[in-house]
Amino acid sequence: MKRILVTGGAGFLGSHLCDKLIKEGNEVLCVDNLYTGSKSNIHHLMENKNFEFMRHDITFPLYVEVDEIYNLACPASPVHYQFDPVQTTKTSVIGAINMLGLAKRLKIKILQASTSEVYGDPEIHPQPESYKGSVSTTGIRACYDEGKRCAETLFFDYHRQHGLDIKVMRIFNTYGPRMNPDDGRVVSNFIVQALKGEDITIFGDGSQTRSFCYVEDNIEGMYKLMNSRDGFTGPVNIGNPGEFTMLELAKQIIELTNSKSKLIFFPLPQDDPMQRQPVIEMANKELNWKPKINLTEGLQATISHFQKLLF
């Protein structure tokens, strides 16, 4: 049995990771400042003797004894990370420094939940890990994009300078139960609007594409990366290479919810990428991982979650 620290553990992805780690027979220390995370996501774990929750902001040092660290702490949706952009950058950069310092002191393995946003608005499509990205340092998304890029730099410098055992995962769009209905992400936005019978808001003309990975597939990839062979650091893309336009997504959600919602269009936000699709050959080869749950199946489970939440 390992004692494993999960920062951001009360969030959407973090809570599912806590479930997975408990199921695999580990003790979990879940750390979250509850800025975007919620105790409701981990309520079912609170009575588990192998689970512990600590309210803490990782921009401040943390002194605990653990065997592994998964660093997931950071608001991940534009609505949340743009609300306090300075704090978003601090969480990515200072938080990474604090967690890397802890891993260095304890001589343990640490995984960084990075993001496909490090690729920015990509000039090549789809995106392999070798692509260096096209990112604005001055735009409204830079607090998140550049914060995560800097965190990756810190991870690899700690690896080179201190011999730290690191794993870096680039997460593409992920969806599923426990998403925050107000997080501003496209899947949750469309589902909530469709269930309420409201107009579905599409930014741009709806031709921009995303690749959507169901949360169970994402967490399986994360777990396999942490337990991958010694010396394999990544970065590795974890996402579903199935590519859909915003129009296709909206129409499928309307059909699955039997909604009468209509589509309305607004201007595209600044620096919003037009394309996003992962190359997952490295994950397949190194982790024996590929997504198993298709979009329709995943949307049905997510819609069911939101129906219970809203009604």
| SS3 labels along 90-155 | HHHHHHHHHHHHHHHHHCCEEEEEEEHHHHECCCCCCECCCCCCECCCCCCCHHHHHHHHHHHHHH
Identify the DSSP state of 35.
S
Interstrand relation of 243-245 and 209-211 (parallel, antiparallel or unpaired): antiparallel
Residue type, 311: F
pLDDT at 90: 97
Alpha helix positions (H), the chain = 12-23, 78-81, 85-106, 142-162, 186-196, 215-226, 246-257, 281-287, 295-310
d(CA 242, CA 130): 20
pLDDT at 9: 98
pLDDT at 274: 84
Which residues in the chain land under pLDDT 70? none
Q: H or E element: which one contains 168?
A: strand 166-171
Residue with tokens 């607004």: 266
Partnered with residue 113 across adjacent β-strands are: 169
Mean of pLDDT over the chain: 95
Locate the domains of the chain by residue range: 3-175+214-240+277-291
CATH class in words for 3-175+214-240+277-291: alpha beta
Q: C-alpha distances in angstroms, 53 versus 38, 110, 202?
A: 11, 19, 38
Q: C-alpha distances in angstroms, 173 versus 86, 243, 250, 274?
A: 23, 11, 16, 14
Q: How many CB atoms lie within 10 A of CB 308?
A: 8
Q: Which residues does the annotation mark as catalytic?
A: 144
pLDDT at 198: 95
pLDDT at 272: 77
pLDDT at 111: 99
Q: Closest Cα to residue 234, out of 283, 195, 270, 196?
A: 283
pLDDT at 148: 97
pTM of the model as a whole: 0.95
